[in-house]
Amino acid sequence: EAEGVRTIHLEENRGLIEARMTGLAATNARYVLPLDADDCLIPGALGAMADVLDADPEAVACCGDYVEFGDWHLVRAVPEQLDPYRVAYTNEYPVTSLFRREVLEELDGWRRPGELISYEDWLLWMKLAGQRARVVHLGPGRLVYRRRLHAGQRARLLDIGKAQHRRIYQQLRQANPELF
C-alpha cells in the first residue's frame, strides 16, 4: 500500500475461495495469477507466461514447472498439455498459473458445488478439462514459482481433505460428469 499497490483487506478470514474470487472481482486485468502468500514467483515468469498467452488467443491458461521447498526440495514437472483423463484422476496442474480472467469468470472460478472443504484448485482444472480448454506450458524445465511445503495451516487443510477424500472426490465427479 505504501508503494501505491492496491490491497484488499477482508474483515475476517472467509477462506481461499472467497479470497480468490474477491481478487478476481476487483480486477479488470486480462490475466490473473493466484499466488499463495507463502509461495514465491520466479522473476520473469509472469511476463513470459503473458507473452505465451498473447501469442495464442485460443489458450485459456499458461502453466510451468515449479519447485517445492521447505521440508524438502523437489522440482515438479507439469504435463505439457491439459489432459482430461489425468485431471479426472489426479491433480498435477498448479494453480499458480496464468489464467485469462474472462474464462475464470465464465467458470465461476474456484467456486464449488456442495460443501467441499478442499480441492478447490483441482476443481478448477476439472472445469477447464471438461471444456477441453487449451492450456499451454511455458516449456519443459521453465520454472514459474516456488511452493513452500511446511507444517501448519496448509498441512491441516490437506489433512482434512485427505481424511474426507472419498466424499470430496465423489462431489468432484458429480460436478464434472463429462470427465467420467
pLDDT digits (tens, 9 = 90+) for 6-61: 889 889 988 888 999 999 999 999 999 999 888 999 999 999 999 999 999 999 99
Cα 96 versus chain centre, distance: 5
Say what percent of the chain tops pLDDT 70.
Answer: 91
- State the Cα–Cα distance between residues 38 and 154, nearest whole angstrom: 10
Percent of the chain with pLDDT over 90: 63
Could you give the C-alpha distances from 112 to 57, 108, 119, 152, in angstroms and in order? 27, 9, 9, 24
Predicted local confidence at residue 125, as pLDDT: 97
Q: Is the pLDDT of residue 133 over 90?
A: yes
Angstrom distance (rounded) from CA 110 to CA 119: 9
Average pLDDT for 84-111? 94
pLDDT at 137 over 60: yes
Rounded to an integer, what distance in angstroms lies between the CA atom of residue 180 and that of residue 172?
10
Mean pLDDT value across residues 160-168: 81
Give the pLDDT of residue 112. 79
What pLDDT is attached to residue 157?
Answer: 56
In this predicted model, what pLDDT tens digit does every residue of 115-127 receive, in sequence order?
Answer: 666 789 999 999 9
pTM for this entry: 0.89
Tell me what pLDDT residue 72 has: 82
More confident residue, 151 or 17: 17
